[in-house]
Amino acid sequence: MKYKTIHKAAVFTLLAAWLFTGCGNQGKGDNAQGALVSSAAEKVYVAPGERDDYYAFLSGGYSGNLTVYGLPSGRMFKEIPVFSQFPTSGYGYSEETKPMLNTSHGFVPWDDLHHPDISQTNGELDGRWIFVNGNNTPRIARVSLSTFETEEIIEIPNSAGNHSSSFITENTEYVVAGTRFSVPVPQRDMPIDEYKGNFKGALTFIGVDPESGHMDIKFQVIMPGFNYDLSHPGRGKSHGWFFFSTYNTEEASTLLEVNASQNDKDFIAAINWKKIEEYIANGGGKTVPANYAHNVYDEATHTGTSTMKKEVLTVDPTEIPGAVYLLPTPKSPHGCDVDPSGQYIIGSGKLSADITVHSFDNMLKAIENEKFDGDAYGIPILKFEDVLAGTVKSGGLGPLHTEFDNQGNAYTTFFISSEVVKWELGSWEVVDRKPTFYSVGHLMIPGGNSRKPFGNYLVAMNKITKDRYLPTGPEMEHSAQIYDISGEKMELIYDFPTHGEPHYAAGCPADLIEPNSKKIYRLDENKHPFAVIGPDGAKVERDGNEVHVYMSTIRSHFTPDNIEGIKVGDKVYFHITNHEQDFDVPHGFSMIGQNTSEILIMPGQTKTSVWEPKQPGVWPFYCTDFCSALHQEMQGYVRVSPADSDIDLSWSVGE
């Protein structure tokens, strides 16, 4: 018996030793040895119950939402509603969230969400918030990375086509929003063909409160009427500067595909925002009338409020010596990316084969020597040759965007030739190139737009899908590819569909976000004015033809679940508080014939749904989220009487 046990133990030890050495040989990304190249499947396989290494936040483009994925698995975890109504949760339908979509144009139920950027401290990701821009009705939103909910949206005045946004400075001092369209500033009725010299482009610097994250427009730089395409902050040595690519320096207002492609070079505008801060601190700038919405969601009251702001501080760059310079950049540059050291500013001329790299040091030298090549509306233009650090002879066509790894390499997407090109900073030599499927727009490396990139994976986001997946009719989701970039050569390891149209993404190591992710809202911190906190707080109150139902939910019933005394013509507000304090136990609510969406109420949260009954009868409601084994029993009735009836309000549960 004893012998048998020892024998077993020995076999087990040997087996364990073999298993461990076996695992060691399959280490990720260790293909430099070439002995055992692990398969692509192993690299992206996250076993059931295991978790991904990175969060990836992909913009949803015309969905108006932000999607959350895992890397390397490519699994989608969540769709966060930001600029669009979202019936899944009731965002933009519930009384609490309708104010989030308020603008100076009234309630706008949709937007085109473009560029996510995660908050940073000292130039490194800090995983607190993610900022995104609404392109169509210019807005910037801040999403909490503990609740994964939209907490704040600020509208941008004097702007149109909010595209060179929402990029942040390296301590999240500012989130920056640049206008794609130049427009009359302030807006006024004038002939379109008088654009040239009259329209203006506003570059907006929004201050971010370091504690609360609350946004406030600090100033707008009123620039010449070019189109401001993309932007990125300086970092490290170039912290204090912001760089914007421009096109249509021709200032055409029609048939731009021809008329905005005439100049051989457009500009990258370099903005010294620290200089502008000084200018404002000394009383500079002009406060002008404006009208824009500032919408803030309060986690304690679970309610958004919209405030209209009535003025904004503008600065004229020509009045601030040394604040703005223009760097000539060939062929209508699109991407404008800054390397992790802050030394190189990469301009991707989208009609070019080459990538232009400007040097920050050269730029400072040229400014110091006052070597200008004329000016544009009073803004000095530096000489192309003076600021140029190098040109990447890529061999590709249509460079768009560049991200960086932690080994001194840059990766640029080429839309027209459908590929990602890896090249070395400094030598400007191409190291590797891999095809994408097809017509890649943005790419993302976690931290690839910060001082500290994490060079394991690269995600290419493509505009065209064609034959990549089983066909789904004329309309298909876009495709994305994941490349392993830990070795010398990039390796395509996965292909997955994305939702909406991702324009850029932001990735972050999971351990920066995962521990802070909220599990519940505390009921004892719920400050919603219509919340039901205690078990006996449920009630129904009438105020004219408005009826307020204070309702609570717990597995698996509503309190109250029988209500009488409602009349045709009433406006019934169901204020529902979820009394669960257990992770991942939401309850839902929907009422028959309601002219709105359902709502999903998270544990400890209160949400309000409105119903205007039009016919007498007894009308049911139920819980929409499969909350427990008795979910199907989670239902109730409201009796609706004719408008002139005199039935008193009454409510009950379990009687």
Partner 1 sequence: MKKASIIMIIGALLLSGLFWFPLWNIMLGAPQYPEPLGIDIYIDGLAGQSEFDIQNIDGLNHYIGMKTLPKPEDMWEFQVFPIVIGIMTALGVLAGILGYFGKIGANWFLGWLILMTVLGILGMYDFNAWMIDYGTNLDPNAIMKLQNPDGTPMTYKPPLIGHKQLLNFDAYSYPRLGGYLMGVGMLLTLVAYLVGIKKKNKVPSS
DSSP state, residue 647? P
Closest C-alpha among 331, 344, 491 to residue 404: 344
264: contact with partner 1 by CB under 8 A: no
Between residues 246 and 553, which has the closer beta carbon with respect to partner 1? 553
Closer CB to partner 1, 381 or 520, in the complex: 520
Are 411 and 458 contacting, i.e. CB atoms less than 8 angstroms apart? Answer: yes
**CA distance linking residue 268 with residue 286, whole number of Å:** 25
Q: Which of 31, 38, 581, 635 is in the footprint of partner 1 by CB under 8 A? A: 581
What are the DSSP calls for 320-354, one per residue?
STTSEEEEEEESSEEEEEE-TTS-EEEEEETT-SE
* CB closer to partner 1 out of 22 and 49: 49
Of 542, 555, 631, 639, which lies in the binding site for partner 1, with binding defined by CB under 8 A?
Answer: 555
**Least distance to partner 1 from the beta carbon of 576, Å?**
18
Structure tokens at 553: 């939910």
Window of 275-283, 385-393, 446-454, 578-586 that interacts with partner 1 by CB under 8 A:
578-586
Helix (H) or strand (E) holding 461: strand 457-462
- Number of residues binding to partner 1, judged by CB under 8 A: 9
Helix or strand run (H / E) with residue 277: helix 273-281
Q: Which of 264, 375, 385, 582 binds partner 1 (CB under 8 A)?
A: 582
Q: Mask: binding to partner 1, 589-628, rule CB under 8 A, as x and -?
A: ----------------------------------------
What are the residues whose beta carbons fall under 8 Å from the beta carbon of 391, sequence distance 6 or more? 354, 355, 356, 357, 428
Candidates 143, 461, 554, 591; binder of partner 1 (CB under 8 A) is 554
Rounded (to 5) percent helix, strand, coil in the chain: 10, 45, 45
Q: Pick the piece of the chain touching partner 1 (CB under 8 A) from 176-184, 367-375, 476-484, 574-582.
A: 574-582
10: helix, coil or strand? helix
Is residue 580 a contact point for partner 1 (CB under 8 A)?
A: yes
Which residue among 431, 476, 520, 610 contacts partner 1 (CB under 8 A)? 520
Nearer Cβ to partner 1 (280/533): 533
Interface region with partner 1, contact rule CB under 8 A, candidates 258-266, 389-397, 434-442, 576-584: 576-584
CB of 581 to partner 1, least distance (A): 4
List the one residue from 2, 543, 629, 644 that touches partner 1 (CB under 8 A).
629
Minimum CB separation of residue 74 from partner 1 in Å reads: 24
Q: How far apart are CA 480 and CA 463, in angstroms?
A: 9
Of 35-43, 159-167, 303-311, 577-585, the window that binds partner 1 (rule: CB under 8 A) is: 577-585
- Cβ(552)–Cβ(558) below 8 Å: yes
Beta carbons within 8 Å of 377's beta carbon, 6+ residues apart: 197, 224, 318
Measure the CA–CA gap between 356 and 358, rounded to whole angstroms.
Answer: 7
Among 300, 630, 643, 647, binds partner 1 (CB under 8 A): 630
Q: How far is the CB of 582 from partner 1 (least distance, A)?
A: 5
Shortest Cβ 538–partner 1 spacing (Å): 17
Contacts of 202 (CB under 8 A, 6+ apart): 156, 157, 158, 159, 178, 179, 185, 220, 221, 222, 223, 314
Choose the binding region for partner 1 from 122-130, 311-319, 391-399, 579-587 (rule: CB under 8 A): 579-587
Scan for tokens 């932000």, then name that residue: 66
Indicate the length of the chain as a whole number: 655
Q: Which is nearer to partner 1, 3 or 583 (CB)?
A: 583
For the bound state, the minimum distance from the C-beta of residue 622 to partner 1, rounded and expressed in Å, comes to: 18
Residues lying near partner 1 in the complex (CB under 8 A): 520, 554-555, 580-583, 629-630
